[in-house]
Amino acid sequence: MNAPLCEIAELPGPPGLPVLGNALQVSPVRLHTVAEKWRAQYGDFFRFRLGSRRFLAIADAEAIASVLRDRPEGFQRTERLERISREMGFGGLFSSNGAHWKRQRPMVMAGFDPAHIKAYFPTLVKVTERFARRWVRAAEAGREIELQSDLMRYTVDVTAGLAFGADINTIESDREVIQQHLDKVLPALFKRVLSPFPELKLPFLPARRERARHLEALRVAVEGFIAQARARLEANPTLRADPQNLIEAMIVARDSEGSGLTDEDVAGNVLTMLLAGEDTTANTLAWMIYLLSRHPEAARRATEEVRGLLGEARLPTLEQIGKLAYVDACMNETMRLKPVAPIIVNQAARDSVVAGIRVPKGHLVLLLMRPAPTDERHFRDAAAFHPERWLEAGKESGIAAPSSAKRVAMPFGAGPRLCPGRYLAMQEMKMVMAMLFAGFDVASVETPDGGEAREALHLTMAPVGLRLKLSRRK
């Protein structure tokens, strides 16, 4: 006989207060760490409440995979995320649901497929050369580098080039750059999405005025990207049959009869790509540089691999990128320990059953992405940084990643909503790490208080305040 179904109300969970629930026990920037502590106390399935919003939390890898694979029919982005994203101007693929999501998905996937990224490689080299020169200047001046800020300049420039055909070159700019506005949007979105109560829509509130200023600056920038793309299409009509990047493909689709796409969809995807391209890859790179600085033997092996492959060159060729096996292993290990999205929040689109738990339509489901990959049941010495576990050498030392590793560690998600930018992200990370190890020696990576790097969650998880000091390669 089948086991009886369990109701969410029957699950254990942290005690809360009337009306507020568990809202006073968490803040958005540390929701993931609090939820991970609750998981250690209550198990892989538990419940909690933020105001009137009730959550089912899941940390079991198999159950997480089943939810991710059942998108968008069974589970979808939350109604609040979709609504607030549209209000803020980036209701693109990331926050869309249903038919709206399905119309946009093929174009975005095509814009980031391996063939496009391969064709973009020469431009990626040019952007990385600029980035290397920026770090050379810092090294020669003995100046500390604000690591995430610099990495975000790089990732925005790469994304703008690939997705929009725009050379914005924030790397070499000392003027106001788009990042200072992008940096304010994700935290504001995340705070509103997870707030226990609706936001007071009072325009005179300082936080609302400041957010409006940043959103207006981004709107102007996005309109500029779209105008440039339309000008290219008008100057060269053959591009309509063969668009060269995401923004051109979106405009062509928008202009096609019966597409169902709007100017808002085009603008929303432009802003979404900027946000996603900046934040996710830059944060993973920052975490990887930090972890390697704390594990000198792994850093030595990565440096030797890069310098042995490149010789006197300072950047890899497209062929050499694929041969950086140890750097690739360092990336996988970083994403296992420091997933850029440690939580994923979905909403049940229909009545469902997950791991024997009845999930009614509309209920919120919070997926904890880190506990399973850092559990001894899945990875030996799971809390430690061992890049070798992703290589053949891991078998000799007994720490090899299991055959199920990719079903347990899912840094890019899974199922139909798998991250479309994963190929670009992997190539960007390899380029930056190869540039770093080929041309520099890392003198230090410091945190603001000299201790371990603190995690801050702003939709993506970032290390707080890392500062990098380099010297030129000896």
**Among the ranges given (31-45, 275-289, 357-371), the one the predictor scored with the smallest mean pLDDT:** 275-289
Q: What is the CB neighbour count within 10 angstroms for residue 262? A: 12
Q: Is residue 71 within 8 Å of 417, Cβ to Cβ?
A: yes
Q: Which of 329, 321, 335 is nearest to 431 (CA)?
A: 321
Q: Could you give the CA distance from residue 474 to residue 145 in angstroms, rounded to a whole number?
A: 20
Residue type, 429: M
Across 23-39, average pLDDT: 95
pLDDT score for 181: 81
Identify which of 291, 281, 223 has the alpha carbon closest to the alpha carbon of residue 251: 223
Nearest to 93 by CA among 277, 217, 244, 239: 277
- Judge whether residue 61 has pLDDT over 70: yes
**The Cα angle at residue 129 between residues 127 and 133, in degrees rounded to 5:** 120
pLDDT-derived band of residue 1, with 50, 70 and 90 as boundaries? very low
Res 95: pLDDT:
84
Query: What are the start-end ranges of the H helices in 236-295?
Result: 246-255, 263-293
pLDDT at 69: 95
Quick: pLDDT tens for 176-194: 677 778 778 778 888 888 8
Question: How many Å from the N-terminal Cα to the C-terminal Cα in the chain?
Answer: 69
Residue 444 — φ and ψ, nearest 5°?
Answer: -165, 155
Return mean pLDDT, the chain.
91
pLDDT value at 84 more than 90? no
Nearest to 94 by CA among 57, 104, 470: 104
200 vs 380: CA distance, rounded Å: 48
pTM summary value: 0.93
Cα–Cα distance measured from residue 312 to residue 300, given in angstroms and rounded to the nearest whole number: 17
User: Is the bond into 373 cis (omega within 30 degrees of 0)?
Assistant: no
Return all residues near 472 (Cβ < 8 A) that are at least 6 apart: 136, 139, 140, 439, 440, 441
Which range (84-93, 231-240, 440-449) has the least confidence?
A: 84-93
- Interval 198-236: pLDDT, tens: 766 656 677 788 888 888 888 888 899 999 999 999 999
CA neighbor of 417 nearest in space, from 61, 88, 69? 69
Q: What are phi and psi of 442, to 5 degrees?
A: -80, 115
Domains of the chain: 6-472 (1.10.630.10)
The whole-number average pLDDT for the span 384-405 is 88
Is residue 394 scored above 90 in pLDDT? no
Q: Which residues of 63-88 are buried (b: 16+ CB within 10 A; e: fewer)?
A: bbbbbbebbbebbbbbebbbebbeeb
